[in-house]
């Protein structure tokens, strides 16, 4: 007996559903970047050592413009994207921004023990893509953070801390001014209305500290601390450290002092009697108190 068309159609639908379930879904992401990045064949995603953490970080190398772009992912957690008729569980937002290669080579300049050409200085066996950084850096001028040694064609630089701090200070102050013009809150939990309650000096100081924190995302911890002192920002107050061996012990409890200090339950407690004046009012009060118990009877043993 031939199968009915209806049953055959249902069987085809079931096969299509099973086939669609077996095919892995394509992962989609939301990115803000130049359109040329999607059309050019000279765009490469590379790994370099991050100047702040010294850990691997992704960057975009554009061979056409000979520039390096920072590849940043913003992830606030528990967020998804609605893309067309699909829901992408990865709620991260990817952004590419031009990065000043000075920040990327500063760690190598600071650790250099010999005056060698820049292409020899920028060698890192763990990050072979640093050759792209060297290709970009060889065309840059680093007199704002280093002193040139020898012939200019040799591209030999020696780290200069004073010049570096001066350059970083200018960057921090420029960013601080921009943040204040844009009325950016100086903390995640602080609105700009609170900033207005501070005086002018406090406001400048708050924005200077915020700008320092942003710039420090591209600086080593030691250099960030040196820059903080150079900017003459107020020292952060640290909590008083516990004595050695007392870090994990609970704080000592103070002895509570409750109730009277004398023991009124003891017998033969001497009570000094106070003589009352023999007046008509006193006599009337004494007459009305006849038959009532003395207050001291409440403190005797039963």
Per-residue HEC secondary structure of the chain comes to CCCCHHHHHHHHHHHHHHHHHHCCCCCCCEEECCCHHHHCCCEEEEEEECCCCCCEEEEEEECCCCEEEEEEEECCCCCCEEECCEEECCCCEEEEEECCHHHHHHHHHHHCCCCCEHHHHCCCCCCCCHHHHHHHHCCCCCCCCEEEECCHHHCEEEECHHHHHHHHHHHHHHHHHHHHHCCCCCECCECHHHHHHCCHHHHHHHHHHHHHHHHHHHCCHHHHHHHHHHCCCCCCCCCCCCCCCCCCCCCCCCCCCCCCCCCCCCCCCCCCCCCCCCCHHHHHHHHHCCCCCCHHHHHCCC
Write out the residue range of the structural domain in which residue 169 sits: 160-234
Residues 30 and 104 grouped into a single domain: yes
Task: Please state whether the predicted TM-score (pTM) of the whole model is above 0.85.
Answer: no
pLDDT tens digit at each of 302 positions of the chain: 444 444 444 445 555 544 444 444 567 888 888 888 888 889 999 999 999 999 999 999 999 999 999 998 888 788 888 888 888 888 888 899 999 999 999 999 999 999 999 999 999 999 999 999 999 999 999 999 999 999 888 899 999 999 999 999 999 999 999 999 998 887 644 444 455 556 778 888 999 999 999 999 999 999 999 999 999 998 865 444 444 444 344 444 444 444 444 444 455 555 555 555 566 666 666 666 666 555 555 555 55
Residues 125 and 227 in one domain: no
Whether residue 119 is found in the same domain as residue 195: no
116 and 220 housed in the same domain: no
Same domain as 120, residue 195: no
**Number of domains within the chain:** 2
């Amino acid at each position: 007996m031939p199968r009915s068309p209806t049953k055959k159609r249902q069987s085809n639908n079931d096969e299509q559903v099973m086939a669609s379930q077996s095919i892995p879904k394509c992962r989609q992401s939301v990115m803000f970047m130049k359109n040329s990045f999607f059309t050019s064949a000279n765009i490469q995603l590379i790994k370099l050592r991050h100047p702040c953490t010294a850990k691997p970080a992704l960057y975009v190398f554009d061979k056409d413009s000979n520039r390096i772009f920072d590849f940043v992912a913003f992830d606030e957690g528990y967020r998804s994207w609605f893309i067309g008729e699909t829901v992408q569980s990865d709620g991260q937002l990817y952004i590419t921004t031009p990065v000043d290669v000075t920040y990327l080579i500063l760690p190598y300049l600071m650790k250099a023990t010999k005056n060698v050409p820049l292409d020899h200085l920028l060698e890192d066996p763990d990050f072979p893509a640093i050759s792209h950084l060297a290709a970009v850096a060889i065309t840059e001028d680093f007199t704002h953070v280093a002193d040139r040694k020898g012939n200019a064609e040799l591209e030999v630089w020696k780290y200069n801390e004073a010049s570096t701090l001066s350059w970083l200070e200018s960057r921090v102050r420029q960013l601080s001014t921009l943040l204040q013009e844009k009325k950016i809150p100086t903390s995640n939990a602080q609105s700009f209305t609170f900033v207005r309650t501070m005086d002018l000096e406090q406001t400048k100081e708050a924005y200077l500290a915020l700008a320092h924190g942003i710039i420090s995302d591209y600086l080593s911890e030691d250099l960030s601390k040196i820059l903080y002192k150079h900017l003459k920002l107020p020292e952060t107050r640290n909590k008083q450290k516990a004595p050695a061996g007392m870090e994990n012990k609970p704080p000592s409890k103070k002895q509570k002092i409750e109730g009277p200090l004398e023991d009124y339950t003891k017998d033969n407690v001497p009570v000094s009697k106070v003589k009352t004046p023999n007046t008509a009012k006193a006599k009337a009060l004494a007459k009305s108190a006849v038959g009532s118990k003395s207050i001291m009877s409440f403190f005797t043993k039963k």
